[in-house]
Structure 1
């Protein structure tokens, strides 16, 4: 998988240049149109303007700027009315068109900012209703846009006093939008609520996530069914034409059969329409549910927030009392205590942090005379710092300025408890050997005391962090001090997970541990020290079969084609795990396994997908430990048989943004991709170099997608070549025309999904 952030940044930069070119050309064309007296030339100029706006709309869809695309769509409606003659073209309309282009330019400049996809763009004072902005974060609610119909409403600039001129959201949106929380006044009332009741309310609210997932699956299923019927349009049309011809000259039972066939085709077409309607309704309900549920969960989570100082402040007294008991001097400090975290997370952190602080005072801080002899202050320093790592995780760093950890004693203790073989310990890097202190039963203390020495406390720390979905690491410098770094999620139950298929079964990997997913040829897997490795971004990374770790039979799909793997990280470690395929990222609700299965190796819990299937949530820390003991499969003998040929795809698209996006998507899926700037360029390339599949836009200069498809079907050498039309033209007539000229599939950009495109290519190739 490509680096999505880098790709999006590249696409946005490309889109910005393309958009500037389109807007400059649109302004020039409008000026030419305004000065042009000839009717025929006006028609040509209007067509050129319409094509520019249409291309800009497709490019905006490609970079996920739906508000810009919607503005272009509404401007297209007006231009279509002008082309059709139902809307007169006068000075007032030219002023309005120029105002719309200017407002679109302002919105595009705003969209290039880092927060553009999530922040609505305010409409300019002169902006027309046809170019009203749609906030991306609220675009989930489906509604009819308030676009004036061209025949009855002239394209004029609204007065400031009219409702259309106010950049407020339509009335339907206000019911599902979360209202901004105003600062609480000094005398605002408060109530006491049982913590148990708050937890129950939050858990019940989180259960609604399953309803949202089910709604999403229902929409996907309906869309899939409607798509399958749409792919049958060509067969249906040919069957219907054959039936009509048969009816003319047939009698008796043949006429009855032909009539029944015609009725069946008509019923299938009607069924497709009904499915499309249900698909749109399901999408509307799904987005409405999301718009209501997400703010509810966010507000419920705020009720559970507590400052971290409630967890850390009591340790100041613990450090004081414990140091005095042990004849030492130490002071405790805390930074970041104002950070608010879910009280359930804080409750889970209390026990591991208690063990760490006690071990720090007992093992880390020296006695005053030892510290003075080492040139230190007689009073030791223990500090905790809590900070956000990213939007979904936080980290807590516990540091001391004590004696540090003696690595030789750690390795000796590890050998005594058989934590690792002696030869492995000898070759183990120092930073990895330090992590052995978290093994159960391992202690460097020469005697068992009342505070520590049994080798249990640090094992509890690791288990507690892994139960939370986090991890703990340690760094130490002898004579200088030690630092423990605890990383944990901010959300207790809801996480984003990567759904993968392993051994024919589905499972979920927490997305916070996923660095990237990708594909590589089996020939690129190299053996290093009897272990499989793969090259990732110039770095050699160990490759382990996830099916072997989970003791599942490797599916035949994994052995064919390219190798799919997921690169995971846990602390400083990185391992690539081979999987059958990556199915996508989705929000899940993690459920514990219950007391009967309280601890299952490599599994931390389970979740219920939207389709009702129960799948395990994998424990990444366990996977890393299991990977150390999984032997790589024996290398297969070299085979003289040729490798599977790579499928080649030719992309014909006049928009450089859309062309770049399609090229990156297809190359990441393992296809060999060539590009053409329009239909004429594509046809010229096909005559000199063959390909397996053609993907084409429809609206292109010189030769459009319909003409390209017809030309391919008319060429005896290319007549069987699959052609997929990917376009923004959504009307039934456009789709039927695409099928009539011989297109193998027709995908609409507004509902474009790269998974559907890959699936269609796989079926056709």
Structure 2
């Protein structure tokens, strides 16, 4: 009996253990959301404190930071996170000493405070990963800000368009030290009780105050996204109702237009009834009269159906439009939720590069769809990192140029109209060297050197968005691979926008990012191409028109039209889409003028139907990328109609005008199937790891135990590239690079230094001795190394 009772208790004990773990996970999830708010606020407050000069305001900010740390410590104790609480205790003690005046504010103190906060954030992440299931759904705060998942906080690596997901970074043997720049912190919501602190921390970012009766609830981000998508599906029902109303109205109008004809037929029938001598004629006249009466009754019923359809359309619109509008508001977040973490990132990255820089943001109170904010995060990150790395000069260089030692970066958001916005990212650095742009474009054979010399400066600047074009003298872990700006352009094109750049040598650079405010709903122009319907984003349509065939002139072996005193290229849209359109020289030529950035092209179409609001849908995983097509939409009659990609159309148009590669002739930049790589590394673990990585990617690899061994092998065997560590016995990587460059036989041989030395002095020394790329082990991954090798060879 006792044994049976004991066995009966065992399942209950196991359930109790499971309930305890579930409760602990739930508490940790709640704590993590609260901790994200505190960590984000602490970082923002410290940046504001570092920039503040007023003593009274400094004291108030110190008090705010101290209270945040104390609150976080108490919350950590509540969920039994001892290491987090201990870190908060040390931070609190340091701040208390600062408050009492025992220590003073200086740069080293701020560095220590930021490191302590990053360490606390790391402990929280470790605790979450130890207990949270990998498939746990993220959550957002309705009316607040969205916490970003830990995977989103990792520093992104450059990838080109359509690249595979980033491979895992170097394993531990190659990670000699942790990166100095912490991952971009997630934007976090400020509780109402701490609203004054947030306003002080970021003076330019003042979200609209909430009323005292407003409440917030936390819901699953997946559920919120699903609700919005379902509400957008109702737009298709509204379009179908609108089409039904139009068809009923058109049919009723057609019957009404035949009223006079029916009346004349009825009068003739009545005369025939009076005069008809034959019974058959009387029967025919009676049939005509009955048909007239039935048609009149049918017209009345159609008018009734038209009014009913119109009423249903108004009712459906009155239900769908407010619902969609309110659900869209749930997705609106202030731009400050994206911009605020960049203050700390700029500070930390500038410190790593031995530079001084500060960030100013404007327009952060404007609200955008959270999906658009998510798409803007990576482009903004690439732009800011590039500007800091090779835009902002060192303090010494800025003094020589007559500039303040501290560089300035700016981020400004403006609304252009009801459905478009412009984000400007600027710096007051050295500007873009156009000669280096020409050199990089010529090296990639984007155009001939003669054509590049004749290209206007504003057009030449746009080449920096081509993959592989870089003005940096060396490849580093921060920038220089020439794909970051290509990612910026592709991200804007995915949003249906575009990016432009302007730069003046010695005074700075400004990037202008134009994008729509609506992610899925858009106004589009419907056109017919080769008998098929297509949609063009209305934001890119400048005008449409028709010309006689004799007004189409041949200029430089291509069709053109004269519009507003400007000659525009006229390209058949059917040819770009691969559709066959029968030639009809007598017909009127209809065309649509599209604009992308500062370029305009006229595309000929069969017919321009009109503008309407559509719901853009992605193509799905099976057709994730189709050239010239951005997605599809369902028309009112249930047909799937493609929505065209304007950026792709422009690229296809320029390719259509360019001479094609002769068949059978190899591509000009075709590379050998197997490149030969020499790896110089004194650590057997790192040497073996690098050899396996490169051989798995198809390279032929030889290894050397130090620089002297590598130099000996170079003199006896031919290699396409050298990958070397820096710190090695007998001859280090700097000495090896200098020896390679001093030998005329190896003058063009690429040398890549992969090292743990990440200071600016070491990178500059690498440039001085002639290294082609300088990659830091702690913040680089194997796919990046392979990309650099292929770029240099």
For normalisation by structure 1, the TM-score amounts to: 0.57
Matched, 1:233 2:263: no
Structure-1 residue corresponding to 2:487 = 460
Q: CA deviation at 1:632?
A: 11
RMSD: 2.2
Bigger CA radius of gyration: 2
Q: How many residues align?
A: 451
Q: CA deviation at 1:422?
A: 4.5
Structure-2 residue corresponding to 1:739 = none
The counterpart of 1:486, out of the listed 513, 535, 538, is 513
Q: CA deviation at 1:399?
A: 0.2
Q: CA deviation at 1:226?
A: 1.8
Q: CA deviation at 1:450?
A: 0.6
| Contact 1:404 1:477 (C-alpha < 8 Å) held by counterparts | yes
Structure-1 residue corresponding to 2:763 = none
Structure-2 residue corresponding to 1:674 = none
| Contact 1:532 1:632 (C-alpha < 8 Å) held by counterparts | no
SS of the counterpart of 1:186?
A: coil
Q: CA deviation at 1:335?
A: 0.8
Matched, 1:251 2:265: no
Q: How does 1:268-279 map to 2 (within 5 A)?
A: 268-279=295-306
Q: CA deviation at 1:288?
A: 2.3
Matched, 1:202 2:220: no
Distance 1:611 1:456, change over 3 A: same
Distance 1:251 1:421, change over 3 A: farther
Matched, 1:549 2:585: no
Q: How far apart, in 2, do the equivalents of 1:439 and 1:632 lie?
A: 17
The counterpart of 1:324, out of the listed 351, 354, 365, is 351
Matched, 1:507 2:538: no
Question: Runs of 5+ in structure 2 lacking a partner?
Answer: 1-207, 660-793
Q: How far apart, in 1, do the equivalents of 2:446 and 2:295 lie?
A: 66
Matched, 1:530 2:557: yes
Structure-1 residue corresponding to 2:242 = 216
Q: How does 1:296-695 map to 2 (within 5 A)?
A: 296-422=323-449, 424-555=451-582, 559-631=585-657
Q: CA deviation at 1:582?
A: 1.1
Structure-2 residue corresponding to 1:655 = none
Question: Runs of 5+ in structure 1 lacking a partner?
Answer: 1-181, 634-765
Q: CA deviation at 1:292?
A: 2.5
SS of the counterpart of 2:511?
A: strand
Structure-1 residue corresponding to 2:160 = none
Q: CA deviation at 1:282?
A: 1.0
Q: How far apart, in 1, do the equivalents of 2:372 and 2:288 lie?
A: 64
Q: CA deviation at 1:372?
A: 1.5
| Contact 1:320 1:331 (C-alpha < 8 Å) held by counterparts | yes
Q: CA deviation at 1:518?
A: 1.8
| Contact 2:461 2:502 (C-alpha < 8 Å) held by counterparts | yes
Q: CA deviation at 1:449?
A: 1.0
Distance 1:226 1:422, change over 3 A: farther
Structure-1 residue corresponding to 2:49 = none
Q: CA deviation at 1:411?
A: 2.1
The counterpart of 2:214, out of the listed 188, 194, 199, is 188
SS of the counterpart of 1:440?
A: coil
Q: CA deviation at 1:475?
A: 0.8
Distance 1:594 1:229, change over 3 A: same
Q: How far apart, in 2, do the equivalents of 1:446 and 1:595 lie?
A: 39
Q: Give 4+ residue runs of structure 1 displaced > 4 Å after superposition.
A: 421-424
Q: How far apart, in 1, do the equivalents of 2:438 and 2:446 lie?
A: 9
Q: How far apart, in 1, do the equivalents of 2:657 and 2:458 lie?
A: 24
Q: CA deviation at 1:363?
A: 1.8
Distance 1:503 1:472, change over 3 A: same
Q: How far apart, in 2, do the equivalents of 1:427 and 1:577 lie?
A: 27
For normalisation by structure 2, the TM-score amounts to: 0.55
Q: How far apart, in 2, do the equivalents of 1:316 and 1:362 lie?
A: 16
Structure-2 residue corresponding to 1:47 = none
SS of the counterpart of 2:255?
A: helix
| Contact 1:508 1:617 (C-alpha < 8 Å) held by counterparts | yes
| Contact 1:547 1:553 (C-alpha < 8 Å) held by counterparts | yes
Q: CA deviation at 1:560?
A: 4.1
**More divergent stretch after superposition (590-599 vs 373-382):** 373-382
1:203-225 CA-partner distances (Å, limit 9, x unpaired)? 11111111111111111111221
Distance 1:185 1:452, change over 3 A: closer
| Contact 1:214 1:611 (C-alpha < 8 Å) held by counterparts | yes
1:220-275 CA-partner distances (Å, limit 9, x unpaired)? 11122122223333433333333333333143433333322322222122212211
Q: How does 1:67-82 map to 2 (within 5 A)?
A: none
| Contact 1:531 1:632 (C-alpha < 8 Å) held by counterparts | no
| Contact 1:591 1:606 (C-alpha < 8 Å) held by counterparts | yes
Q: How far apart, in 1, do the equivalents of 2:347 and 2:277 lie?
A: 102
SS of the counterpart of 1:515?
A: strand
SS of the counterpart of 1:628?
A: helix
1:282-313 CA-partner distances (Å, limit 9, x unpaired)? 11211222223222222211111111011011
Q: How does 1:147-162 map to 2 (within 5 A)?
A: none
